[in-house]
Amino acid sequence: MSSTAPFFFKQPLRYLRWASINKPAYFYSICVGLAGPTIMAVVIPTRKYLGYERIAKVPQTYPIPKGPRPRPSGFEDE
């Protein structure tokens, strides 16, 4: 009994070519999933090496104004 799909461990490049043609959704989703950690490991140190610094941090809360709050008028139900 012979399988039409090549085995990954015997011929990895042939298998990757076969998977990209016959199962593109699986193949490219794995490629994108593997690219994320790789980009994190390469891009962040490279940006620091090149001197990129963040200008401002992202605010985590909404700023609350100081002092008494004015009460809105003109919206009373009658």
pLDDT of residue 11: 87
> Within its chain, how far is the Cα of 5 from the centroid?
31
pLDDT of residue 2: 54
Q: Within a domain: residue 73?
A: no
* Pair 10, 16: CB distance under 8 Å: no
The tens digit of pLDDT for each residue in 20-40 reads 999 999 999 999 999 999 998
Q: Within a domain: residue 44?
A: yes
In angstroms, the CA 69 to CA 76 distance is 18
- Whether the per-residue pLDDT at 62 is higher than 80: the answer is yes
Residue-number span of the structural domain to which 22 is assigned: 12-49
**Block residue for tokens 């990757």:** 16
Whole-prediction pTM: 0.51
**Helix pair angle (12-22, 24-49), 10° resolution:** 110
**Block residue for tokens 């104004």:** 65
Q: Give the total number of structural domains in the chain.
A: 1
